[in-house]
Amino acid sequence: MLVDFSKNRITEETLAKLQDLAKETDLAGAIKSMFSGEKINRTEDRAVLHVALRNRSNTPIVVDGKDVMPEVNAVLEKMKTFSEAIISGSWKG
């Protein structure tokens, strides 16, 4: 993971504490779970799928045995079409 702290006042000690906290809370495992489509939203008992919106490689993200990427790509295409219509002026609300 790359984190840019260049615009923040952060000491080596603070950075070390953040790294220790990441290890202690298994941040790497949580990230892996998120990207693999596991249900990590415990209050709603579902996967957090915002990573699917940024999945430009189209790597399958499987939730409950189903690849959600085809549905995500369909919605993204609709958003693109809608945005282009607004920008071009062909759609007026």
Geometric angle at alpha carbon 47, from 46 and 51, rounded to 5°: 155
Model pTM score: 0.63
| Annotated domain spans of the chain | 12-88
**CA–CA distances in Å: residue 32 to residues 26, 74, 91, 92:** 10, 25, 41, 42
pLDDT for res 37 = 85
- DSSP E strand boundaries for 2-90: 62-63, 66-67
Give the tens place of pLDDT for each residue, 11-58.
Answer: 999 999 999 999 999 999 999 998 888 899 999 998 888 889 888 899
Query: Which residues have a Cβ under 8 Å from the Cβ of 1 and sit 6 or more positions away?
Result: 31
